[in-house]
Amino acid sequence: MTKVWAHRGAKGYYPENTLISFEGAIKQKADGIELDVQLSKDGYIMVCHDETLNRTTNGKGFIKNYNLYELKQLDAGAWYDKKFKGEKLPLLDEVLELIKGTNMDLNIEIKAGSIFYPGIEEKVIKMVNKFGIKEQVIISSFDHYALLKAKEIDNTIKTGLLYMESLYKPLKYVKTIKVNALYPNYITLNKELVEEANELNVDINTYTVNHEDDAKLIKQLDINAIITDYPDIVKNILENN
């Protein structure tokens, strides 16, 4: 059965990429969690979607310009709702701790915006191995060089190729870049792509499906995972409708 992965946690109900959002996803019985990582000035792996603090914390400026101590002083919950005041920017370690001992998947997206973090792939893989949960983890990125690098570091780590528009013959590309999964925007999903991927044992994890009608259509396709802000709703559609 298609799995449901909680996008930045259960983002539809909680401040994204916070521990309470990940705990919410667990409560909603999501099969996995998706999160985004950036590096602090002193090299810690911080969980945050944006490379800047402005939108989701009470801080300002780039994460890469602050050390862990400074980042941990910030509030990452009140911007969403004052009842979440006191939520912090999590370290990747804290989420690994949460996932360890569950049977959930963890999708770590290495962000590729205007900033690149040299060595981030190695740091992430090292941390995942430290917790001994490599089988539960998949690293995804829009930065396909990061995926290549991850496989160079550890060819047993799972990787997934994020893309936005339709790609021409994506499964040929999969062979070249040796990823385990394709992450098509759900708008570009089609039966042929899914069938070809399944034949070649390549997972399809689609994003970000937040409308019930879309989830119902995607349910007809045999894909590995749906990434959504509303894990409870999508789970219910997959299991009951």
Q: What is the set of active-site residues?
A: 7, 49
- Let me know: does 171 contact 202? Beta carbons within 8 Å: yes
Specify which residues 204 forms β-bridges with: 182
Which positions from 54 to 93 touch Ca ion by CB under 5 A, shown as an x/- string? ----------------------------------------
Tell me if 53 sits within 8 A of 59, measured CB to CB: yes
Residue 36 or residue 229: which is nearer to Ca ion going by CB? 36
Geometric angle at alpha carbon 176, from 174 and 177, rounded to 5° = 65
Does the protein bind Ca ion through residue 203 (CB under 5 A)?
no
Quote the least distance from Cβ 76 to Ca ion, whole Å: 16
Helices and strands (DSSP H and E) totals, the chain: 9, 9
Strands 158-163 and 181-184: parallel
Nearer to ligand G3P, 188 or 208 (CB): 208
Phi, psi of 181 (to 5 degrees): -145, 150
109 binding ligand G3P? (CB under 6 A): yes
Binding to Ca ion (CB under 5 A) within 15-54 occurs at: 36
Q: Rounded to an integer, what is the distance from CA 153 to the centroid of its chain? A: 20
Q: Which does 208 bind (CB under 5 to 8 A by kind): Ca ion, ligand G3P, none?
A: ligand G3P
> Which residues of this chain interact with Ca ion, rule CB under 5 A?
36, 109
> Which residues of this chain interact with ligand G3P, rule CB under 6 A?
7, 34, 36, 49, 109, 140, 162, 183, 207-208, 227
